[in-house]
Amino acid sequence: MSTQAPTAAPTVSSAARSSSAARSSSTTRSLLTCAVVASPLWAVVSLTQAATRQGFDITRHPLSALSNGSLGWLQITNFLLAGTLLVLGASGLHRALRGTPGGTWAPRLVRIGGLGMIAAGAFVMDPVDGFPAGAPSAEAAALTWHSYAHFAAGSVTFTSLIAACYVLGRHFGRAGNRRYAQASRVAGTALLIGNGWAMGGGRAGTLTLAVGAVTAMLWISVVARRSRRGV
């Protein structure tokens, strides 16, 4: 009498595991794609408006001021969409960096930064320094509550992105990738200095802030793209 053990069950189990892993990898890549496109999208839409909207001067007006005026809905949507993509992309980074140094906090900080962008889009800052056209050139005696909320959201976003870049610097440093480690720290420092200069009332501070913010955000996209290739 034959006592040979059945072999079908292990084969099915192996196929199921393979299929599940494939679905998981596909989901991770899709989430990382969100992080890849979020920052370039925000930068292109913001800088295009900065170059074309009447009365806007990037050396005097922050990119957030573009949320005002008849075309303000473009920048509001830009903030909301880019923030949502960063929140989703953070989940992809969590999957891709899980178990590595910085693999927990870098995605968390990116997610917080995305939430801050969503809040910055929801709460519009007041018109500033003659923008949009027709707005008073003198600073208002008191800011509105939604302007305060916008500045608070911006502070959360900038602080989170700075910290995320430094955590990624540690991540790549521990992995022996000096080039990416240094680039991560440079990106974080660019935003740290740009924001600090602007907050201190430095000349053309809105320009240094824009450069720092775009640099740090684009670096997050570069890291997400690199992680996507490894999934």
Per-residue pLDDT reduced to its tens digit, 161-207: 999 999 999 999 999 999 999 999 999 999 999 999 999 999 999 99
Residue 134's alpha-carbon distances to 17, 39, 57, 88, 128, in angstroms, are 63, 31, 14, 38, 10
Structure confidence by residue, pLDDT tens digits, 88-120: 999 999 999 999 999 999 999 999 999 999 999
Structure tokens at 163: 């910290």
Burial of 80 (0-12, 13-18, 19+ CB in 10 A): middle
pLDDT above 90 coverage of the chain, percent = 83
Query: What DSSP designation does 231 have?
Result: -
pTM for this structure?
A: 0.89
Question: How many residues in the chain?
Answer: 231
Per-residue pLDDT tens digits for 71-89: 999 999 999 999 999 999 9
Phi-psi region of 176 (alpha: psi -120 to 50; beta: other; left: phi over 0): left
Looking at this protein, which amino acid is placed at residue 2?
S
Asked if 165 contacts 184 with a C-beta cutoff of 8 angstroms, the reply is yes
pLDDT at position 6:
54
